[in-house]
Structures are given as C-alpha cells and as structure tokens.
Amino acid sequence: MSALTKLGNVLSDRGSKYAVSGGLVQDRAGVDSALKALKRDKSYARATHNTWAVLLSTSGALKGDDGEAGAGMVIVRVLEREGLHNHLIIVTRWFGGKHLGGDRFRHVQTCVRMYLDQVV
C-alpha cells in the first residue's frame, strides 16, 4: 500500500461532514492496511462511516459500506466509469444528526469526483 492521501472536510450538509482519502493498493491485505492506517487518526476512527471501494486488477471490485448501505457501490461505479484500478477510495462521514436520504449518495459521488480531480 502506498501512503494515503487525505482530503479533509470537503463537503458539509445538515451537520454531516464528509472527507475523502485514497491510495494505491494491490490486494485485500493492502485495503485492510490502508483502512487501519486511516483509523490511526482518532477523528477518522470515530467517524460514523468509512465507506470504501477498489477495483483490483486481479480480482475485481471490493467494497465496504460500513453501515452506509449502498455507498460502496456508488464508489465502485465511479471507479468503473474512470477505468481506475488498484486505487482505493475511502469516503468518510461524520453524521450530523439529520438524515440526508438520497442526498448522501450524491455526496459520496461528489467526494470521489473531488478526489479524482485533485489527486489522480
């Protein structure tokens, strides 16, 4: 796993705050290592959700919703459209007390887009 690039507080809505992080990985062990490294930062460890996805060139899509049902698939779809393999994207959300409904999926997509535009 390469070092994670973190873009902190990139989006806020109704009290919820979003951040996005990512880095190169080659396999599931790399994914686990990257998530563990991210959560060494206590603010990320305390986040409500650390949703992630990667398209591994050897074994295809892996994703984790971390309680934000369907959010990992949103990231997978963006990675597929971009044709980006072996690059883990993690969208972090700190819940602000108000449910966002379908807006939360648009926010995940916006975070991934911001990451891709600034980092990749």
Contacts of 103 (CB under 8 A, 6+ apart): 13
Encode pLDDT of 10-69 as tens digits: 999 999 999 999 999 999 999 999 999 999 999 999 999 999 999 999 999 999 999 999
What H or E segment, with its residue span, contains residue 37?
helix 28-38
Position 78 scores a pLDDT of 97
Predicted pLDDT at 95 = 96
Q: Is 35 helix (H, G, I), strand (E, B) or coil?
A: helix
Q: Are 18 and 107 in contact (CB under 8 A)?
A: yes
**pTM of the full structure:** 0.95
- Reported for 34-41, long-range contacts at CB under 8 A and 24+ positions apart, including other chains, are 34/1, 34/4, 34/88, 34/90, 35/64, 35/90, 37/1, 37/4, 38/4, 38/6, 38/90, 38/92, 41/6
Rounded distance between C-alpha atoms, residue 42 and residue 33, angstroms: 16
pLDDT digits (tens, 9 = 90+) for 77-111: 999 999 999 999 999 999 999 999 999 999 999 99
Beta carbons of 63 and 75 less than 8 angstroms apart: yes
Query: How confident is the model at residue 3, as a pLDDT?
Result: 84
* Res. 1 pLDDT band, cuts 50 70 90: low
Residue 9 has pLDDT above 90, yes or no: no
pLDDT number for residue 2 = 64
